[in-house]
Amino acid sequence: MKTLRFMKIIIISIILMTLPVTSIMASSCDNLPPAPPKNYKITTIIFVSGFNASRIAREFTPKLQKWFKQIPDFKVRIKNHGWKSRKMRRGSYLIDGIKVPEKWKKANKAALKEARRLSRRIKSYERKGKAYYLIGYGLGTKVILESLNKQKKKLKNLKGIYFLGAAMPNTSKLRNFRILPKGIKIINFYSPKYDSVLKSQPQLAGINGFKKHYFQNFKTEASHSPRDDKCNYYNLTNTLGYFIAYNEGYTIATKKINCDLSSTPRNRWNNIIDLGTSWIQQNACPESTNYFRIVDKKRNRVKSKDCNLHHMIKVRQETGPL
């Protein structure tokens, strides 16, 4: 019996050795996605939510992740950087009266403390050579800025920084702005008219933009959160998706995407790209977030419309980081 089993093993081994290697791989790996090239690196996006913003973290990042599914070849990992501010009692905003300053003071203190943890995370990504983006919302922008202030070396793997409704003074500084990679500024989206959460504090960068040259400010007509209205900062996920994909060399088609540009969306617009004499704008409301247009700065005249920002950029032959 032992001799018979041994003979069977030898026969099976000989058969397997005569089969092409590719046929064996195909039989076991047909349903697996192709392996990325050896030099391919997954891009990481770190999202830092703001004061009492657990809902924002739960809704903002899934919307952004859903957008990236349009480009299956682009592998991106989105991480929520949770911190203690999310655990504070709900409903305590800057405009809620006497209790708010104390809550704000605690949240601000927590942000400074949290910056140390995010700083360690950034150093880890730099050490490992991982490409990453930073997106801050509300007081989360302060966490990011303070974590950058703790960096001493140039951030070679940082690909972009985006602030939404920055809840910190517009005089805030990046103490060593030379740590930023060449060509990268901190993009700050602010809303002087519609941000009811921050509007009682006009000195905040989320209302009037930052003053330092290493920030680039874009005026929007977005509200701070769904508690205000549906035309809020959540809807900039489309724009951020287009920006990050473009910077990484991925685009959504090269032709116009068919959409109904004859209908008139709500007249609220976010400035997203400065073309010198014109703005590229995105509609601020959820039913029209794929609606982009180029508007002349002086005459406020609409020059062109599109539902594919990548196509609009190609037509304008704009290059460089967004």
Residues of the chain with pLDDT > 70, as a percent, come to 72
Q: Say yes or no to pLDDT of 322 above 60.
A: no
Tell me the Ramachandran region of residue 139: left when phi exceeds 0, alpha when psi lies from -120 to 50, beta otherwise.
alpha
Strand partners, 294: 280, 304
Taking the C-alpha atoms of 179, 183, 186 and 191 in order, what is their torsion angle to the nearest 10 degrees? 170
Are 50 and 234 spatial neighbours (Cβ–Cβ below 8 Å)? Answer: no
C-alpha to C-alpha distance for 244 and 185, rounded to whole angstroms: 14
Higher pLDDT, 50 or 190: 190
User: Maximum distance among all alpha carbons in the chain?
Assistant: 94
pLDDT, tens only, 275-311? 999 999 999 998 888 899 999 998 889 988 888 998 8
CA-closest candidate to residue 161, choices 107, 111, 122: 122
**What's the distance, Cα to Cα, between the start and end of the chain in Å?**
73
C-alpha to C-alpha distance for 186 and 203, rounded to whole angstroms: 18
CATH among 3.40.50.1820, 3.30.1180.20, 3.40.50.11540, 3.40.50.2300 for 43-251: 3.40.50.1820
Strand partners, 306: 292
The rounded mean pLDDT for the chain is 79
Mean of pLDDT values over 3-32: 41
Q: Say yes or no to pLDDT of 110 above 60.
A: yes
**pLDDT range class, residue 81, cuts 50, 70, 90:** confident
Domain segments of the chain as ranges:
43-251
Tokens of 52: 């009492």
Give me the residue label for tokens 């700083």: 119
For the four alpha carbons of 75, 79, 269 and 228, in that order, the dihedral sign comes to positive
Higher pLDDT, 230 or 57: 230
In eight-state DSSP terms, residue 252 is: S
CA-closest candidate to residue 92, choices 144, 138, 147: 138
Provide the residue type at 198 as one letter.
Answer: L
Give me the residue label for tokens 């205000």: 228
Are 294 and 279 spatial neighbours (Cβ–Cβ below 8 Å)? Answer: yes
Give me the residue label for tokens 């980081």: 321
Higher pLDDT, 74 or 38: 74
Tokens of 304: 């062109």
Higher pLDDT, 134 or 73: 134
Q: Say yes or no to pLDDT of 85 above 70.
A: no
Higher pLDDT, 154 or 114: 154
E strand map for the chain: 43-48, 76-80, 132-137, 158-164, 186-190, 215-219, 269-274, 278-283, 292-296, 302-306
Q: Say yes or no to pLDDT of 128 above 70.
A: yes
Residue 180: per-residue pLDDT: 96
In eight-state DSSP terms, residue 224 is: S
CA distances to 38, 82, 146, 259, 291 from 60, in Å: 31, 13, 22, 24, 19
Tokens of 51: 């004061």
Does an H or E element contain 12, and which? helix 2-18
Q: Say yes or no to pLDDT of 166 above 90.
A: yes
pLDDT, tens only, 31-55? 333 333 444 468 999 999 886 656 6
Which range of 67-81, 174-188, 250-264 scores highest in mean pLDDT? It is 174-188
In eight-state DSSP terms, residue 233 is: G
